[in-house]
A and B are shown apart, each in its own frame.
Chain A
Amino acid sequence: MDWLFLLIQTMNGIQYGLLLFLIASGLTLVFGIMGIINLAHGSFYMIGAYLAFSFTQMTGSLLWAIVLGIPATLVLGVVIERFFIVHLYHRDHLQQVLLTFGLILIFNELQLVIWGGDPNGVPVPEILAGSIPVSETLSYPVYRLFLSAVCLVLAGIMMVVIQKTRLGMRIRAGASNRRMVEALGVNVRALYAVVFSVGVTLAGVAGMLAAPVETVYPGMGEQILIVSFVVVVIGGIGSIKGAFLGALAIGLADVYGQVYLPEIASVAVYALMAAILLWRPEGLFGRGAENG
């Protein structure tokens, strides 16, 4: 194994980790701040990808698809929060799991009715369609690099919003003591509606951005759901910073596992999770530790 090989594999791991972060960030917001276990998060990822597929076919460009897709998922988030999630705030996790699981079934069936069971491809935008040669035989697709850059930018924006803005302050306050924030005159209901819709939109945007590399197919949301929960738990529930580092750790563990320990590649990610939880039961940046 020469250094170039190692370098490329590390790049693969980081790139996969960044994508995981984008998907898991919405989940950790909703889970950590609102205390809602949202099993349907993967469905929003899938819906984003399918919207990208349809809108790309209509408009001929992924950029336009995303421009149209963001308000669509935002509205979807508002509607789902208003009619379903709002009833869950004072209920236990079992009922949250049941309702959001029901949503998965509904979304999966709707997906089949609207788009059918075939896998669909979304073309990579032409400007980003090229590849950069990195070795004699291997090239790196430009779109994947672009995707990583977008994930980094979004991560930066999220951290600034959470740490530096008034909204972020309220979100953090709502997460640590909902009643106190309410008593101080903050409209927590509205705050939660915003957080949930943003969470849905983040999942949707992840699906839209990933559509050209991931392929759009039924059940794609469930695949990503489990690993997203792993990222959230490793990072510490509700922590964006934790989700970021957790996602990178998972991405790297996944790639190195596959290269150096292929026999146990399928459990490498879960072994990492177990090790981290033994060391820090609350996750890397769980509550009690610094909240960010």
Chain B
Amino acid sequence: MANSTSGYSRRRALALMGAGAGVAAASTALPTRFAIGGQAKVRIGTLLPYSGTYTRLGQAITNAMELAFDQGGGKLGGRPIELVKVDSEAKPPKAAELTNKLINQEKVDFVVGPVHSGVAMAMAKIAREENTMVVVPNAGANQVTGPFCSPNIFRTSFSNWQPGHPMGKVLLDEGKKNVVLCYWGYGAGKQSAQGFKDGFVPHGGKIIKEIAVPFPKVEFQAALTEIASIKPDAVYVFFAGGGAVKFVKDWAAAGLKDKIELVGPGFLTEGVTKAQGAAAEGIRTTLHYADTLDIPANRAFRAAYKQAFGKEADVYAVQGFDAGLLIRAGMDAAGGDTGARAAMIKAMETTAIPSPRGQWTMSAAHNPVQNFYLRQVRNGVNEVVKLAMENLSDPAKGCRM
């Protein structure tokens, strides 16, 4: 084992060196800031993954945010916009350094990012101290709008607590009271399970067993055997990406599909139904969005996105679009003056965002108060079944502002 551990520490060192060199090279080529009243550009720094597994998410968020800016005339409070893109690589060890570069060297007015919760935690700590405006377009760690909450930090996506929370009510309404939880035993998995429990246990639901699979392990056979021997009414799971594909397929292969109901937050079936195939059919999840959501704002957004970028929008694009709308609201209220911080923050806190997911507002902790939809996979598509919970707000535990 000595060999592989040494490989990994070296690997981290290399990664850090690489990041340092890349940013240093990039920053020399940038002009210094010039302040000619309204004509100076508003600098928006993105800290998003533009390489690695989450590249697609970073691109969708950036594209949609630019679409939101373009729809606002390409200006923020009358000033032109300059994007400073930094690749987060979704690697938490690099987060502090890259955030510092954006804030202190690039002197950006807003930081938009990240996708990864580990990166978000490091970023939020620095942004609190530096008092830079931050808009988080994905990372769901409860802490960002919990213990780390701050007047200058906003989120346009969700807290990990939120997406699974409405599922408790959905199951109880159908008389399903005995549930097993099965999730990756790390931050997001635990927070998602807690969100479900908070909506389920106080109203008469019973958690018979909790199975935490070590993250990012994808060997589920032992857990499936255990679930089969318990025979609960339903199983609530949190897995994403490759893990979600594998769990859903293993579930069907183990013959559990038509015997026990499998539910989870939307990420269980978001963007992966093609890989899951027939195994995903019928699975119900709750999320703040669905591609098929049939409201005018969503239809208009999806059409505009497809026309501009030639591909279908997804939930990440929606969150990026809303980040753009939120920044627009703040900058318009401040009349383009980033120094008018109080007016800007006030507008960002109070403006109702006309999102493709349906209109939403900020909570006191700066996390969306939003609708959650019950969706079901039909022919490989997450179809909206009904509104599962209206205007759900994160409890924002530990937030003092």
Contact = CB atoms under 8 A, between A and B. Distances in A.
Interface of A: 5, 8-9, 12-13, 15-16, 37, 39, 93-94, 97-98, 101, 108-109, 112, 116-121, 123-124, 131, 133, 135-141, 143-144, 213-220, 223, 225-226, 229-230, 233, 254-255, 258-259, 262, 265-266, 270, 273
B271 interface: yes
Interface stretch (B104-112, B147-155, B167-175, B255-263): B255-263
A217 B241 contact: yes
Interface in B248-300: 249-250, 253-256, 259-260, 271-272, 274-277
Closest 3 CB pairs of A and B: A139-B255, A217-B242, A266-B214
Contact of B242 (A93, A143, A215): A215
Contacts of A265: 212-214
B228 interface: yes
Interface in B178-228: 185, 211-214, 216-219, 221-226, 228
Nearest to B273: A121
A9 B241 CA distance: 26
* Count class of interface residues, chain B: 35 or more
B71 interface: no
A138 B229 contact: yes
Nearest to B6: A97
B221 A37 contact: no
B226 A259 contact: yes
A119 B272 contact: yes
B3 A219 contact: no
B1 interface: yes
Given A9-B225, A121-B276, A101 B7 contact: yes
Most chain-B Cβ atoms within 10 A of its Cβ — which of A93, A118, A254? A118
Given A140-B254, A258-B223, 16 more contacts: A97-B7, A97-B10, A101-B11, A108-B52, A112-B53, A112-B55, A117-B55, A120-B275, A121-B245, A137-B228, A138-B256, A139-B253, A215-B242, A262-B211, A265-B214, A273-B1
A223 B218 contact: yes
A138 B228 contact: yes
B221 A225 contact: no
Nearest to A234: B1
Contacts of A216: 242
Contacts of A213: 246, 249-250, 253
Say whether chain A's binding surface is mostly helix, strand, loop, or mixed: helix
Contact of A121 (B218, B225, B249): B249
B306 interface: no
Most chain-A Cβ atoms within 10 A of its Cβ — which of B1, B55, B211? B1
22 contacts: A9-B222, A101-B7, A118-B272, A119-B241, A119-B244, A135-B229, A137-B229, A137-B231, A138-B225, A138-B254, A138-B255, A139-B255, A143-B253, A144-B253, A215-B218, A215-B242, A215-B249, A216-B242, A218-B242, A220-B242, A223-B216, A255-B222
B214 A217 contact: no
Interface in B309-326: none
Contacts of B28: none
Interface in B1-34: 1, 3-4, 6-7, 10-11, 14
Nearest to A7: B225
B51 interface: yes
A93 B4 CA distance: 11
B122 to A, nearest CB: 21
A255 B225 CA distance: 10
Contacts of B250: 213
A37 B7 contact: yes
Nearest to B272: A119
B180 to A, nearest CB: 12
B10 A101 contact: yes
Given A217-B241, A266-B185, A119 B275 contact: yes
A5 B225 CA distance: 7
B12 to A, nearest CB: 11
Interface string B31-61: 0000000000000000000011111100000
A119 B1 contact: no
Nearest to B209: A262
Nearest to A15: B221
Nearest to B54: A117
Contacts of B256: 137-138
A119 B225 contact: no
Contacts of A223: 216-218
Nearest to A53: B275
Contacts of B7: 37, 39, 97, 101
A262 to B, nearest CB: 7
Given A98-B10, A214-B218, A139 B56 contact: no
Given A266-B185, A266-B214, A8 B4 contact: no
Nearest to B212: A262
